[in-house]
Each structure stands twice: as structure tokens, then as C-alpha cells.
Structure 1
Amino acid sequence: MNKLVWAAALAAALAACGGSGGDESSSTSGGSGPVNVVTMPYSRGMDPHAQVQAVAAAESGNSHFPGCHAAGAPRRLTRTQLIASLTDVVQQLTGDAALAATVEPTVLDQAQFPPDTLVDPDSTRHTGYERLDTALTSRQAGALHQTAETLAKAITADSARVTRLLGNCGSDANACMAGFSRRAGRLFFRRPMTDAEVAVYVAAAGGEKTPEAMSKVIATMMASASFYLRVELGQASGGDGQCVPLTAHELASRLSYQFWDTVPDATLAAAADDGSLLDPAVYQAQVARLAADARADAPTRRFFSRWFKLEELVAMNGKVGNAKFDAFAGSYKPLSTTRDAAINEVLDMVSYVASRDGSLQQLLTDRHSFARTADVAALYNTPVWDGKSTPPLFAEADRVGLTTRIGMIANGSSDTTLPIRRGIRVLNALTCQTLPPPAMDQSNAKADLTGVLTTRQRTERVTQMEGTSCIGCHQAQINPFGFVFERFDALGRVRQTEVVRDDNGNTLGEKPIDTAAVATLAGIAARSVASAGEAQQLILDSGAFEKCFARNYARYTFGRPDKADDAELIEAMRQQAASGTNIRRLMAAVALRKEFQMIAKVSP
């Protein structure tokens, strides 16, 4: 049985903010390692300080029941969600946009909250999703405490703001703090406060309504597990192991973090408070509203960036000054910012297609350039896009769709095309094909690499050598999806020939490009392909792209690896994607599934 491990560090954070630590059954590791704690069941209405010591129940969320997921340990906010949530809460609480704008630098620069780990259940070699990172380190807990303390002091530093926050509450300090705690707690905890919880925060204020007392209350709420964790228990009906609906407030929180990565806005919160969110018509309208809102664009981009593994592109200027790289690059000089600009160009395509009701399939066929910077536009031989008008079209016939974009096809600061890496990118990231681990076969060290050889020829001689264990995977699966993109050099530029150079950049010879290959994907007959467009058409015809989307979106949505009994959900999403449903509606559809709206009761 896996256990979540947050309580000890958060208890320390609360205690430092004036909370009651109580008796702890825990031990905290040093440095930035995980915090270990004996956990107890969480129940609604519990003293929030006791919640910190008993935050997570038994199962870690890996438990699963057909049709819904087990109500195990709560998911924590990612760093992105933490920043967005605090920013929105501060804005809603104070109405001060300038103060809300200080949240991000406080979290990143002052508190130095560390980034989440990108977890890929399939491999440690490739990036995955931060939503699958369930650990809380002592470094994260310490940063959360410092953030809470800093922001709480800033919120209460303005006497006029303190007066507005308290409102016309009279002279009774306890009544004033009770009213304030209810308003603030509703925002931080994404649900109404219970009387027991309010009483704890009133007591923490010590019978005062001073800025110092308010700061203590705000900081304690910010560092509370009720804020940092997304606790889901479901409605009271139902016995152990039964699927029960989420409460209106749990559902509102799921929706807001799914589509906006932040707390519910006033409209969604109101629908949760009056219970109308549980009405199917109201719920569907809210799903449509959230998915269509401009705030859904950033999480959408994050999902596609993780699915396409765009973070694996390394800096493209790392070898500027190297003789061989400079000779290869010619007059083009990649900048320190070229890598990020290339990644954003891919994501701008996603945003553009999605905003115009485009389908998933259009990502593999679109021929617009979304290069907003001169360095990336130069690689495309297109004008710079202004981000508003119709994007320019690629003039090069070879340039079509996702796989030929710089963010996907470039190899960082390499001067060679690395066809094996390109092949694995297509198979692993875009089609979810299962590849065995590399064989530890040294016999290919005898491969003859003499003479002036193209990158393809060198790759074939090493990986397709008869009698080695490498040939099976490389010849039939990996290499074809690398060779078909040989028309693009290591910077992603279209080329007609390959210039072979020595380490000093001297030209050894120039040879024609060979892109012909027989490519194989599961579920479809092997096919001869000779261009990126033909390879992408094979991917579309196989249905693997849509199925890979469905599998990855399930992981992103539920924050865990997909399992065998997710097959029905994944197949339903695959079918909807295959039908050409537009991207926005496709991503919204998961929230209409019972798996999203229900949870399984489990005993602690």
C-alpha cells in the first residue's frame, strides 16, 4: 500500500504560522527528500490543524474501480496550479491586481518553490506529466510556508485594505474574524467553511482583529492542507467500493483545475454553493463555458507540450563556435531563445487550430507557419507571424504538419539528424508504440564505417547489421520513421543533399538524400513511405495518433498511469477523436464521462 507523505512538513508550516501542531507521528527527512508520515483518514469538518496531521487516507489513488476511481489520498496542486490558485484567490479576496501579480515572483524567486517532476509511466528516459508527481518534499513545504507568510503580510500591510476585508462588522473582534474567515476560507478551500473550522481560525486570531491577527489567519489558510491538497470524498451515499457522485464543490474544483489549473471563478463557485451544478443541464453548460474560455488555452498547451515531449528539445545554440557545427549551420546562428521559440511555434499551431474548431487530425496536416521570431521564421523561410493575422503558409512542399516543425524535428545543438531519436519520437510520443529497451549488443562495433557515408548509411550499418539483436527493432520499426525525415537537417531546415564533414568542418563529400522506407505501425499493414507527409498519413490511417491522444489525456486528467480497466474510457475518447471532433470539444468530453464525475468509496 502506497501512502502520501505530506503531513509532517505542512504541520510544521502551520505551526510556524501560529497553528497548533498537536501530537505528530512523523519524521522529516533532511534536504529536499520526501517527508514520511503515518497518515490517518481525512474527514470533512475536522479541525484544519488536525487535518494536516491526518491528511491522507490509505490508498494512494492507484486503486481503481470500473466506472470511477478510488477516493484515496488527495492530489496536491502542481506548482503551476499553486501559483494560479494563489494569484486568483488574492485577486478575488483583495481586488488588488498589482498585489496578485506579486504571487508568481514570490513563489518562484523568493520562496524558490521547486518545479514538479515530469513523470512518464512508460519510461524514465522521456518527459511526462507534472500531474503524475504526487510527492511533497520538505523543500516544497518550506517554500509553501515562506510564500504564505510573505503574502499574508503583504495582504494586511495596507490598513485601508484591512478595513475593507473586515467590512462593517462592528466592535466584536470574534464576530469580525468569523466573517472574514468564512469569506477567505471559501476561496482558499474551494468550499464553504464549517462552524468548527471557523472556530479554529477565530481562536487563532486571539480575540483580535488587528492586521497581525488577520495575517496569522491568512497565512495559516494558505499553508493548510485544505488549500494545497485536492481532497475528494464524494457524496455521503454509498458503501465501501461503490461509485458515488462527487459533491458539487468537489466537482467544481475538478472542473476548474482540469480546464484552468486554478480555483473556481465566481460563476462556478455559485453553482456549487446553490447545488445547481449537480443538475446535468447546468453541469454541461459549465463544462462548455470553461472549455471555451480563453483561460483553457494555457492548460491545453501544457498538455500537448507534455504529450509531444517538446521539453526534450535541448538548447539549439550549445555548439555555436564549434568548427563542425558552424560549418554546418552556415550563416544561421541559433540564439539562446531559439529553442523556446520553436516549442512555442508548435503550441501556437495547437492554439490556432483549436480556436478555429479544428480537429486533432489537422495538427498532422496544417501548413501554416506560426513563427513569431525571426530566428525560427528563417528556418522555415517564411515571414514572421504577427500573432493576429492569418499565418503565412509554408512555401516548401516537404514542410507539412506537426512532425516537420522545428520544435519536433530539430535536434538541439547537434549537427547531425539523429534518425534513431526521430524515429523513437514518432513511435513513442505520437503513436504510443511499445518499444523494448535497447539491447546490450556490442557486435555492431564491427560495422564498417569507412568512406564518405551519409547519416542514414552510418545508421544502417550500425543498427541493421545482420546477426545482431538490434536489427529486429531498428530495421522494421525505428529506423524507417527516422529515415523518412532525412529531408530535414539537424536544425530542421529542408535540404536536398547531405554535406559530410570532418570534425574540423571540412567538406568530405556531398551525397543525395534517401528517404524511402517501409514503415510499420501496429494495426495497419506495412507501407512504403518517402516523405514526411506520407509518414503522417500512415499515422492517421493507423488510428494510433487518436488512441495515443486518448491514453495520454486520461493520464493528464486523472493524474495517474492508465490501467486495463480504463479501456472503455480510452476507446470512447479515441472514437470521438477519430470522428473529427474539434479539439476543444474533444478535451471537454472527458468531463462528461462518469469516471470524471464519480469516485469510489474506500475504507481507510
Structure 2
Amino acid sequence: MTSPRLVSLLLLCAGAIACHGSIEQPVPGGNDSGGEDDPAPPASSVPIPPAPERFSCDTNAVPVDLPLPRLSRTQLGNSLRFAVARALPSEADAIWAKVAPTFARYPTDQRTPAPGDLKGGYSRLDQSIQQAQIDAMYDLGQAVAQELTGSNARRNTLLGSCASDGQTANDRACLETFIRGWGSRVLRHPLPAAEVTAFADIAGSTPVDRGAVADVITALLNSPWFLYRIEHGTEASQPASPLSAFELASRLSYQFWQAPPDDELWAAAVNGSLLTEAGFAAQLNRMLQGPQLRSSLDEFVSEWLRLEELPSLVALQNDPVYQAFVGEEMPTDAARTAMFEDVQLSAWQTIVSGGSVSNFLHDRRSYTGDHYLASIYGVPVWSGSGPAPVIPSQNRSGLLTRAALLATGTASTRPIHKGYMVRNALLCQQVGAPPPNASDRPPSPTTDMTTRQAVTQLTSGGSCGACHNQIINPPGFVLEGFDALGRERRVERLYDSRGHVTNTPPVDTVAEVRVYDSERRAVSNAAELTQMIDDSQLFESCIALQYFRFSHARVESTSRDGCLLSEMETAARSGAPMADMLKTLANHPTFKQRSFQ
């Protein structure tokens, strides 16, 4: 559930609000049409010139790496599944089903907005360490260990015939072989003799006893080498040290697949080819072309675009106004999930088809097998293979008009919410926080007042008017051509409390949108807004910044990270495949080294 503090952003401002960012400062008391002396804005057919590039490179600046990156909850779960599958591949699914309830107790990472952002953020940025995590991880280690050693047959599969040959002289060597093999893959680096000895000593005088082996496995799964990405580099005495082959393999794998290195990547680390230019390029291309990339991309898109903020579509199913608004068929939460997947698949299909960032913004194909969402788009359901159907309406301009970004779970649209999303998530522009006394109730239509009229009435006056009228509200008003389920509309149906229609006024989608500095245009529909955003290239710069935060699990320093950010921005703006932006990140020298400054 969205917190009142976050909800208040979307609502009426009753006091001063500070507007800042890369758009021109609004004039206090301004209105939708600008000041009285302002000339009329150009029509949307006059392209917005590209905004200046956001980032610049200082070659003397050295980025600061996270001191000890903790695996995210998703990465930890994938690492545990990898450990189980590596130990007992034929029983991996059954074992994971047994330990999944224990994993469910592991705390969820909290999404952390960047400074100045009122919403959004990435769960990877949560690098906190809690006692609850430590306790849950110990229980997880024990649960996995007990399952892996739950029978003599399982123990024998782990250790080999030496565990059951009736001899005791070879038991210690048997256990050490298991630790060097399975343990090295689980901890993601070849274990030196001293570490093998230390782990084997945990078993005491009964190295192949099932309980003793379980204790060793528990210790391995609670090792810092398992829970964190530990990087010493190869020249630790230097301010920035090249990563070892195994450190680089882990960084690549967790970045793009959210999991430990697979056999091929591990082999490239073992033979050293990963440290060559050709070897690294081969592995990077393989990872960017592999289906495992989708998990990471889905998480990025979902958190960047704040998809989970969409409430349940059935919570108000007994409300007469919501019932009347929805019509004959009530949506289900399966439709809500399909809305998320539709956006995620758009990004994925852009990557695999070689499309650009601009192509992603403009993508008008429907990627859903859900009949309810398909009916909203006016297309047949997609089978999941072959070309996805193109949405016929020209006003379905792509990302901005996907149902996940338009639906609200209520009978009312949320122009303020959508306006802030455009500003902050898609353009990376900051808007000041609402005052403490801001209302926690969103403006809603009445029996004789449209949503736009209600929002304008409640936000256009006083010190709030400047920000709302010139920055927040206009993009949201342009999107009023879609209702609170994402359906296109020309009129807005107004209801009384019993769900009876009281009026059907036409929807007004015309607004003056100020994109950056003094660049503003009169916009009348979502397609024009999308084109204006694309022409400015602020969306391309923004996605580069957002992907940097996601991949690095931290907020950028525009000075110290400027070189990488500048290259990613250039790749995103160039019209090259969107995958090139991801590739730029991995090919940058900072990806292959560890900073100790």
C-alpha cells in the first residue's frame, strides 16, 4: 500500500512548494497558458530541439564503488537455487519447494529513492544489514543443508562413493573434494587450501556423517563470500585495481542474469579468456542475448516505472461508482499482472529485436495474452511468439499509453500522479516536496465537474499553482484521453454516489507542456506528447541515468561517474540498439576494476 507521504505528492498543495530541476522555473501564480504577457507557445508540430546533454566526462575523476555489495533478495534466491541444483540437479525443484517457505521469511529489500525524488527508487539500493536477515539466512542455510543431506543416498550423491565405501581413512579427503568443487562454485572463487581446511574442520572427526556435512554446508551458505560480492582486485594496493577473472565473472553474471556464473562463464574465468578483449566480448554478447537477461530487465522496468504502485483492480468491486465505471466485465488482478508484463515485454522485445530507446518509447504493439487487457487495446491476444499485434489507435503512442501507466484501481484518473511520473520517472526532473499540510485525498470528479476541472480548482491557486499549472498537471491533462482502466475516451462519465451517470462532458486534453528551460509546446494528445518527449531526448538521457542507478545499486555522482554516464547517454541518444546502452556499461573500464578510494 502506498504510504500517505507518497500519496500526498499527487494531491492538493495547501502551502508553499519548491519547484526545481532542469525545466525553467515557473512564474508564481501562473496558469496553464503561461503569464499574461507570454506569447502563445508553438504548435506541437514544431519539434522541440534536443536538450543539452546532461553528463560530461572528467577523465581524472575516480568513481567510488560500494564497499561490500550485498546480494539483493532476488540474487540471493537465485544463488540458493543454483547451489541446490549444483548439488542435486535431479531433485532441485523438489528441494527448493521444501525450503521456499523459509526463504519467504527473508526480509524484502526496500526501494530507495534518489535524493530529491519523492517516489521510485530501486530495491538494489537497499544495502542495509538487519538482524532479521542474518537470522533468516542462518535458517535458510540449515534448511538447505538438511535437505541436501536428508538421506544417505543424497549424501552419497554429494560426496561420491568415498562417503559410503566402508573406509574411514579417505573420509576427510572426500569432504575436502566436495568443498573444493561445490564450495568453490557456490562461493564463486577457487577456494585456497587454507579455506578448504577451515570448512572441513567444521565436520570434526566424522567428515562424512550426514549431520557433519550439513554443518559444513550451513557454514558455506552463511559465508560472506556467498552473501556479498567480495572484490579484492588483483592490485589491491592501487586506488583502482583490475578485477580477477572470477570477480569479473560474478560482476557480469549478477549484473545481467542476477545469478552466479554458469558453467561457460566459469570456464572462461578458469582458463583466463574472460580477461582478454575477445573473450570478454564473447561472454558479454552471450549474456545480453540469453533469455536469462529478462529477469534483470523486468525488475529494472518494473521499479523504474513504478508499476507496483497500481493498486488492485478488484478492491472496489462492490462500490457502485466503480461498478458503473467498469461496466459489464469486472477486471481481475490477473489483468493487473498482465498490464505489468505488457510493459516489461515491450522493453524485452525492444532489446531482442535490436530496437532503440526511442523505439521502446514509441512501441505500439500489444504483448498480452490476457483477454481483458487485449480488449482495452482493441487487439487479439498475443500467443507469445511471432509478431505481436499492433494497437490500431494512433493515439496509443507507446509507453505513455500502456494501461499499466494509466490505470488507477478506482473510477477516477490521476492527472497529478501521471504528470509527476512523466516529469520524474521519464524525464528525470525533480519536483519539490508537498508541504506537510497537503491533503491525503486525491482530487476527484463530482456530479458536474470533470477530473481536470477538479484538479485545476484545487491546485491552481496560491503558491501551489506555479508548480501544478506549469510543471505537474499539464502532462497528466494530456493523458486524460484515457480513463482509469486505460481505455480510450472522448467524454468523461460523471456519477452520483449510487453509480448513476449525471453528465458526460467532453474530455479536454489540450495543455501547454513546458519540457525544459523555455521550450514549451501546445499539445493536444498523447501521441504529440510522446513525440515531444522523444524530440527533446530527455527520455534517452533519463533511461541511461536510471539504468546506472539500478546496475550500480547506488546513486550517481555526476562528477565522479560522469564519464560512464556520458557514454551511456550518448548510446541511448544515438538511435543505436537499446542493448548497446547495456553493453556500454559493461565495456567501460570502471566495470572491470575495483575502486578503493
**Structure 1 442/577 Cα, relative in aligned 2: closer, same or farther at 3 Å?**
closer
How far off its partner does 1:158 sit?
Answer: 3.6
Q: State the partner residue of 2:43.
A: none
**Structure 1 429/110 Cα, relative in aligned 2: closer, same or farther at 3 Å?**
closer
How far off its partner does 1:417 sit?
Answer: 1.0
TM-score (norm 2): 0.84
> Are residues 1:515 and 2:513 paired?
no
- Equivalent residue letter for 2:276: D
> Are residues 1:282 and 2:279 paired?
yes
- Equivalent residue letter for 1:356: S
How far off its partner does 1:441 sit?
Answer: 7.7
- Equivalent residue letter for 2:185: L
- Equivalent residue letter for 2:150: A
Q: State the partner residue of 2:244.
A: 247
How far off its partner does 1:389 sit?
Answer: 3.0
**Structure 1 522/567 Cα, relative in aligned 2: closer, same or farther at 3 Å?**
farther
Q: State the partner residue of 2:219.
A: 220
Given candidates 132, 137, 144, the residue that maps to 1:151 is 144
Q: State the partner residue of 1:556.
A: 550
How far off its partner does 1:66 sit?
Answer: 5.7
| Residues 318-340 of structure 1: per-residue CA shift (max 9 Å, x gap) | 11111111111121301132221
Secondary structure of residue in 2 paired with 1:294: coil
How far off its partner does 1:583 sit?
Answer: 2.2
**Separation in structure 2 between the aligned mates of residue 540 and residue 579 of structure 1, nearest angstrom:** 12
How far off its partner does 1:292 sit?
Answer: 1.0
Q: State the partner residue of 1:329.
A: 326
How far off its partner does 1:104 sit?
Answer: 6.1
Given candidates 367, 380, 389, the residue that maps to 1:392 is 389
**Structure 1 101/348 Cα, relative in aligned 2: closer, same or farther at 3 Å?**
farther
**Structure 1 74/203 Cα, relative in aligned 2: closer, same or farther at 3 Å?**
same
- Equivalent residue letter for 2:125: L
How far off its partner does 1:570 sit?
Answer: 1.3
Between 71-80 and 210-219, report the one with greater CA deviation. Answer: 71-80
How far off its partner does 1:502 sit?
Answer: 2.0
**Separation in structure 2 between the aligned mates of residue 298 and residue 90 of structure 1, nearest angstrom:** 20
Secondary structure of residue in 2 paired with 1:550: helix
Q: State the partner residue of 1:206.
A: 204
| Residues 79-119 of structure 1: per-residue CA shift (max 9 Å, x gap) | 111111111122123332x3245336624456522211111
Q: State the partner residue of 1:477.
A: 471
Matched length: 530
**Separation in structure 1 between the aligned mates of residue 299 and residue 60 of structure 2, nearest angstrom:** 28
Secondary structure of residue in 2 paired with 1:348: helix
Q: State the partner residue of 2:129.
A: 136
**Separation in structure 2 between the aligned mates of residue 490 and residue 378 of structure 1, nearest angstrom:** 15
**Structure 1 391/587 Cα, relative in aligned 2: closer, same or farther at 3 Å?**
same
Secondary structure of residue in 1 paired with 2:156: helix
How far off its partner does 1:523 sit?
Answer: 5.3
Q: State the partner residue of 2:36.
A: none
**Structure 1 111/470 Cα, relative in aligned 2: closer, same or farther at 3 Å?**
closer
Q: How do residues 52-131 of structure 1 correspond to structure 2 at under 5 angstroms? A: 68-70=62-64, 73-96=67-90, 98-100=91-93, 102-103=95-96, 106-108=99-101, 112-122=105-115, 125-131=118-124
How far off its partner does 1:359 sit?
Answer: 1.2
**Structure 1 220/450 Cα, relative in aligned 2: closer, same or farther at 3 Å?**
closer
Between 358-367 and 118-127, report the one with greater CA deviation. Answer: 118-127
Q: State the partner residue of 1:49.
A: none
Structure with higher RCO (Cα < 8 A, 6+ apart): 2
TM-score (norm 1): 0.83
How far off its partner does 1:537 sit?
Answer: 0.8
- Supply the RMSD in Å over aligned alpha carbons: 2.4
> Are residues 1:487 and 2:481 paired?
yes
**Separation in structure 1 between the aligned mates of residue 67 and residue 318 of structure 2, nearest angstrom:** 51
- Verify the 8 A CA contact 1:74 1:229 in the aligned structure 2: yes
Secondary structure of residue in 1 paired with 2:468: helix
Secondary structure of residue in 1 paired with 2:481: coil
- Equivalent residue letter for 1:455: T
Q: How do residues 159-174 of structure 1 correspond to structure 2 at under 5 angstroms? A: 159-167=152-160, 169=162, 171-174=169-172
Secondary structure of residue in 1 paired with 2:341: helix
**Structure 1 108/353 Cα, relative in aligned 2: closer, same or farther at 3 Å?**
farther
> Are residues 1:357 and 2:373 paired?
no
- Equivalent residue letter for 1:187: R
| Residues 10-45 of structure 1: per-residue CA shift (max 9 Å, x gap) | xxxxxxxxxxxxxxxxxxxxxxxxxxxxxxxxxxxx
- Verify the 8 A CA contact 1:107 1:113 in the aligned structure 2: no
How far off its partner does 1:207 sit?
Answer: 2.9
**Separation in structure 2 between the aligned mates of residue 270 and residue 343 of structure 1, nearest angstrom:** 37
Secondary structure of residue in 2 paired with 1:526: strand
**Structure 1 101/246 Cα, relative in aligned 2: closer, same or farther at 3 Å?**
farther
**Separation in structure 1 between the aligned mates of residue 129 and residue 236 of structure 2, nearest angstrom:** 32
**Separation in structure 2 between the aligned mates of residue 304 and residue 382 of structure 1, nearest angstrom:** 23
> Are residues 1:436 and 2:432 paired?
yes
**Separation in structure 2 between the aligned mates of residue 575 and residue 369 of structure 1, nearest angstrom:** 29
Secondary structure of residue in 2 paired with 1:337: helix
Between 344-353 and 399-408, report the one with greater CA deviation. Answer: 344-353
How far off its partner does 1:568 sit?
Answer: 2.3
Q: State the partner residue of 1:591.
A: 586
**Structure 1 549/576 Cα, relative in aligned 2: closer, same or farther at 3 Å?**
same
**Separation in structure 2 between the aligned mates of residue 368 and residue 583 of structure 1, nearest angstrom:** 17
**Structure 1 450/419 Cα, relative in aligned 2: closer, same or farther at 3 Å?**
closer
- Equivalent residue letter for 2:196: V
| Residues 202-225 of structure 1: per-residue CA shift (max 9 Å, x gap) | 211113212222111111101222
**Structure 1 215/109 Cα, relative in aligned 2: closer, same or farther at 3 Å?**
closer
Secondary structure of residue in 1 paired with 2:241: strand
- Equivalent residue letter for 2:138: H
Q: State the partner residue of 1:195.
A: 193
| Residues 297-343 of structure 1: per-residue CA shift (max 9 Å, x gap) | 11111111111111111111111111111111121301132221211
> Are residues 1:422 and 2:398 paired?
no
Unaligned runs of 5+ in 1: 1-63
| Residues 34-59 of structure 1: per-residue CA shift (max 9 Å, x gap) | xxxxxxxxxxxxxxxxxxxxxxxxxx
**Separation in structure 2 between the aligned mates of residue 200 and residue 592 of structure 1, nearest angstrom:** 37
Unaligned runs of 5+ in 2: 1-57
Between 221-230 and 123-132, report the one with greater CA deviation. Answer: 123-132
Between 389-398 and 277-286, report the one with greater CA deviation. Answer: 389-398
**Separation in structure 1 between the aligned mates of residue 375 and residue 102 of structure 2, nearest angstrom:** 34
**Separation in structure 2 between the aligned mates of residue 112 and residue 100 of structure 1, nearest angstrom:** 19
**Separation in structure 2 between the aligned mates of residue 255 and residue 526 of structure 1, nearest angstrom:** 42
| Residues 380-410 of structure 1: per-residue CA shift (max 9 Å, x gap) | 2222111113222212232120110111111
Secondary structure of residue in 2 paired with 1:512: coil
Secondary structure of residue in 1 paired with 2:479: coil
- Equivalent residue letter for 1:432: C
**Separation in structure 2 between the aligned mates of residue 433 and residue 104 of structure 1, nearest angstrom:** 44
- Verify the 8 A CA contact 1:156 1:215 in the aligned structure 2: yes
How far off its partner does 1:291 sit?
Answer: 1.2
**Structure 1 69/214 Cα, relative in aligned 2: closer, same or farther at 3 Å?**
farther
**Separation in structure 2 between the aligned mates of residue 512 and residue 136 of structure 1, nearest angstrom:** 53
Between 78-87 and 331-340, report the one with greater CA deviation. Answer: 331-340
**Separation in structure 1 between the aligned mates of residue 60 and residue 249 of structure 2, nearest angstrom:** 23
- Equivalent residue letter for 2:262: D
**Separation in structure 2 between the aligned mates of residue 148 and residue 113 of structure 1, nearest angstrom:** 12
**Separation in structure 2 between the aligned mates of residue 251 and residue 498 of structure 1, nearest angstrom:** 55
Between 518-527 and 214-223, report the one with greater CA deviation. Answer: 518-527
**Structure 1 452/464 Cα, relative in aligned 2: closer, same or farther at 3 Å?**
same
How far off its partner does 1:160 sit?
Answer: 3.0
Q: State the partner residue of 2:314.
A: 317
> Are residues 1:271 and 2:268 paired?
yes
